[in-house]
A = this chain, B = another copy of it.
Amino acid sequence: MGDQIGNPTRRDFLTMVGAVGGAALMYQTMGMMGLAQASPYAGPIKLGTAPANKKVLVLGAGIAGMVAAMELRDAGYEVEVIEFRDVAGGRCWTIRAGDTYEELGGAVQKVDFAEGNYFNPGPWRVPYNHYGIIDYCRRLGVELEPLIQINNFAYVHSKDALDGKPVRYREINSDFRGHISDLLSKVTNQGALDEVLSDEDKENLLAGLRTFGALNADNEYVSGNTASARRGYERAPGGGVDGAPIANEIMDLSTLLSSGLWSRLATSEALNSSMPIFQPKGGMDMIARAMAENLGDLVKYRKRVTQIRQDDDGVTVVYEDMDQGDAEVTTTADYCVCTIPFSILGQIDHDFSSSLSNVISTMSYNASIKVGVEFKRRFWEEDEHIYGGTTYTDLPISQISYPSNDYLSDKPGVLLGCYSWGATAYQFSSMTPEERISRTVEFGSQIHPQMKEEFKAGVAVAWHRVPWTLGCYGAWQDKEAQYQDGVAMDRRIVCAGEHLSYLPAWMEGALLSSLDAITRLHEVASNAAGK
């Protein structure tokens, strides 16, 4: 982001290093400059100037397509975007009160949320390390607000552990940290690590474990105020006569280990799930709306692509215009960026090279189910003091995520009641939307009994039934072997999207794929024009 804001030389320098020494040297240099560990997004792209009178056709107005269209237009290309739906965004999608959604198979859901409430069935999070999306939000004026991913007071739950009783995240987290720090302290003091650690190392390790695990002065994890200051008290510190705290009891190691609930403790550490994480205010599609507004009438909506052809002179695309009784229209361009998901593209008549065709036909799209449920009141806040964050469970709903907006509101609230993958997602996909919602409430009430009483409305999106993607994200048959075939420019056409990235299912993957694709397209177009 440095090139726009006060540090123009840094990027220029890196670009020069990259040009001279290649990407590896550039990243090595970035590392020395403390800039690595970054998204490969290094600030607004500088394509340079388009060759004269060249047109690029962009297929699909999702994140990848719109990013390509904006940047190619800004470089001077003529741009035309062909979109199947009547709105932009693709999977960057927000369902709002009053919306109607018809899935594959014909089931129609009319969303009966309270005014202003919404649900993001696709992407719902913008991690801090997704620099590209964050920078486009900045450039397009999309406001971001924090999304609470991990809430120490939300639950971890297993139907088979602790009699199915949900436990506050902070208890399991404190107890696991405490017990392993206690065990490692003991064996360190017993000399078990003498061969690998110096005396100074051991001293530092013991001090570190004491802090890390909330151990007492003897490096033991025991019930008491030291542990309770992490895991919670029987009676928390207060004021006045009864102000003194009463500690609670830690969970014994064996019970903790056999509960399996420790498996939830790593989520907050993964780069894409660690704080801070953001969401656009008002719904994820605020990003798509801002991009669509920026593109204006360059985007042609309600056009169903039926044929893609290319030859030495250009690219020819045939589409059915749904606004003209499905009349067949032919459009041409010099180049094309194709962001249509391969699940759809495989069904379209095309003449791609055999290597790309092979990737398209062998890529499968993963199943995923997301259910948004609205309740009459925010009982998770009012009764249980849970403000945002996620409850993890091994029930088929997998997780419950509480809204990270409108805290303390006395209006109905929408939570993510089910977010599952794999076999569970297939099961949910085979149900009617109403069944999916009622199952979500049924399972969820094992954790929040209030759910049954407080249910108001729901919407269930099974991604295999979403007409414009037929799945959640692209899964490679053999990524290592096929990847370069998939991303390579195929004569005049280059494909882009989350499926052509190492950040599948993330908007950042779509965006980075798109920037890389148009960089190469521009190179090809410039070279061709230079001849």
Q: Name A residues whose Cβ lies closer than 8 Å to a Cβ of B.
A: 1-2, 5-7, 23, 27, 31, 36-41, 128-129, 131, 134, 137-138, 143-146, 148, 150-153, 168, 170, 173-174, 176-177, 180-181, 183-184, 187, 190, 192-193, 196-198, 200-201, 204-205, 207-209, 211-212, 214, 229-230, 232-246, 248, 253-254, 257-258, 260, 262-263, 265-266, 269-271, 274-276, 278, 377, 379, 382-383, 385, 387-389, 404, 407-408, 410, 483-484, 487-488, 496, 498, 500-503, 509-517, 519-520
Contact = CB atoms under 8 A, between A and B. Distances in A.
A23 B236 CA distance: 13
21 contacts: A5-B382, A27-B235, A41-B238, A145-B407, A152-B276, A170-B274, A173-B269, A180-B209, A183-B184, A187-B193, A200-B257, A201-B253, A204-B258, A230-B271, A238-B509, A238-B513, A239-B501, A239-B515, A240-B500, A241-B487, A276-B388
A37 B234 contact: yes
Contacts of A134: 385, 408
Given A174-B269, A176-B208, A238-B513, 11 more contacts: A5-B377, A5-B382, A6-B379, A37-B168, A134-B408, A145-B145, A150-B275, A212-B265, A239-B516, A241-B520, A276-B389
B128 A153 contact: yes
A237 B176 contact: no
A388 B236 CA distance: 28
A249 to B, nearest CB: 10
Contact of A516 (B145, B168, B242, B258): B242
Contacts of A516: 238-243
A439 to B, nearest CB: 24
| In the complex, the 7 A-B pairs of residues with the closest C-beta atoms, listed nearest first | A240-B516, A239-B513, A239-B501, A37-B232, A239-B512, A40-B238, A237-B502
